Amino acid sequence: MDALTVLVTGAGAPGIKGTLYSLKNNFDNRPIRTIGTDIKKEVVGTYLCDSFYQISKPSEKEYLEQLLSICEHESVDVILPQNTVELPVLAENKTVFSTIGVYVAISDCSAISLANDKFKIMKLAKQIGIPAPDYFLVDNFDTLKKAALTLGWPDRPVVIKPPISNGMRGVRIIDESIDRKTMFYSEKPTSLFANMMNIHDILGFDFPPLLVMEYLPGAEYTVDVLKNRGYTVIPRKRDIVQSGITFQGTVVYHEELVNYAKKLSDALGLQYAFGFQFKMDACGNPKLLESNPRIQGTMVLSTFAGANIIYAAVKLALIEDVPAFQIRWGTKILRYWGGLGIFNGNIVDLL
């Protein structure tokens, strides 16, 4: 098969090594040259990609011009985005990239707009019969507190998060029962847990919209999805999570999650590679948390399990056939802290 050049944005994202692994170790044994971009100059992808460019933020007008210029200079075939905030800009300009022969492996604007907004996707989930946490949208402290009371606070924790955010930014669990003294001596510092007084000190009375949501105490699952003629759907149990990143996970077949993911994908109109997150309530029932309409951070686990969704998304963008996958259920990932030794701009060692 012809060699490809794939531009991977967000080259400083935690999942960059997994994305590059999936591209290089593809099921076609196809040579792939990778171009990385990021708003920061020195990130892991600077050294792991075959070429790297520092670019402007997606909110800046130079972003699109820079990306188009890189694509032309490097003869890029496909853009594979990893960063949530750039998705609307790329989706809006898919036609612009196609005029220079570049395919962007993400969904269309309408799907991105829905999937990126946690408030909109919760509302949609309720409409189509997919379980989701009880929630309220608030923009001041009085309505936040009222919503929390309705959800059982202070006897039960509640969760707050921005409707549109990336990773764990803005997420807090409001829990009045936490023992801060015990946490101080026994746990590493974290800002995830807070009480209502802390939240008032941080946010004040008025603030940008926040979701106040039912707290779900059970196991958490990420679901990887590939939209082909049908769907490849791979649930992954997040056994150990640190700073929002899966450090230990297992590919498990969960029929409810598979069906929910297909139904959501149809309703949203998502394409290529994307995913959802679910969490179990106190009775063990899965409820939707959010959607990621892009490559997910630990999607390489699906590659390990025999379903290279990341490379398959590239093939779909090129309108190439993707074979049926034989999934090895029970495959695990154990993530560890690695590192690059750098001297004079070159890798001297890799942990």
Same domain for 14 and 96? Answer: yes
Region 12-27 average pLDDT: 96
Same domain for 27 and 76? Answer: yes
Same domain for 308 and 344? Answer: no
Q: Where are the beta strands (DSSP E) in 201-309?
A: 206-214, 220-227, 231-242, 245-251, 272-280, 286-292
Region 92-109 average pLDDT: 97
Three-state SS at 46: helix
Domain end call among 196, 214, 232: 214
Question: 40-54, 278-292, 334-348: which has the minimum mean pLDDT?
Answer: 334-348
Model confidence pLDDT, tens digit, residues 143-201:
999 999 999 999 999 999 999 887 678 899 999 988 878 878 887 777 788 999 999 99
Region 297-317 average pLDDT: 97
Domain end call among 167, 188, 214: 214
Confidence of residue 237 (pLDDT cuts 50, 70, 90): very high
pLDDT of residue 334: 97
Residue 172, domain CATH = 3.30.1490
Region 49-72 average pLDDT: 97
Same domain for 66 and 12? Answer: yes
- What's the chain's average pLDDT? 94
pLDDT of residue 244: 81
Model confidence pLDDT, tens digit, residues 264-302:
999 999 999 999 999 999 999 999 999 999 999 999 999
Same domain for 121 and 19? Answer: no
Classify residue 112 by its DSSP letter: H
Same domain for 164 and 287? Answer: no
Domain count, the chain: 3
pTM (two decimals): 0.93
Residue 133 has pLDDT above 90, yes or no: yes
Question: 68-77, 131-140, 236-245, 275-284: which has the minimum mean pLDDT?
Answer: 236-245
Same domain for 292 and 200? Answer: no
pLDDT of residue 335: 93
* Contact status, residue 213 vs residue 260, Cβ threshold 8 Å: no
Confidence of residue 243 (pLDDT cuts 50, 70, 90): confident
Same domain for 264 and 174? Answer: no
The tokens for 164 are 């549109």
Domain containing 201: what range? 135-214
Residue 333 has pLDDT above 90, yes or no: yes
Confidence of residue 246 (pLDDT cuts 50, 70, 90): very high
List own/partner pairs for 198-201 with CB under 8 A and 24 or more apart. Answer: 199/141, 199/144, 199/160, 199/172, 199/174, 200/141
pLDDT of residue 192: 85
Using CA atoms, how far residue 290 sits from 36, 108, 117, 218, 225, in Å, is 27, 18, 8, 16, 14
Same domain for 282 and 208? Answer: no
Residue 298, domain CATH = 3.30.470.20
Model confidence pLDDT, tens digit, residues 75-88:
999 999 999 999 99
pLDDT of residue 208: 96
Same domain for 289 and 247? Answer: yes
Same domain for 186 and 37? Answer: no
Residue 351 has pLDDT above 90, yes or no: no
Same domain for 198 and 288? Answer: no
Domain end call among 177, 198, 214: 214
Residue 56, domain CATH = 3.40.50.20
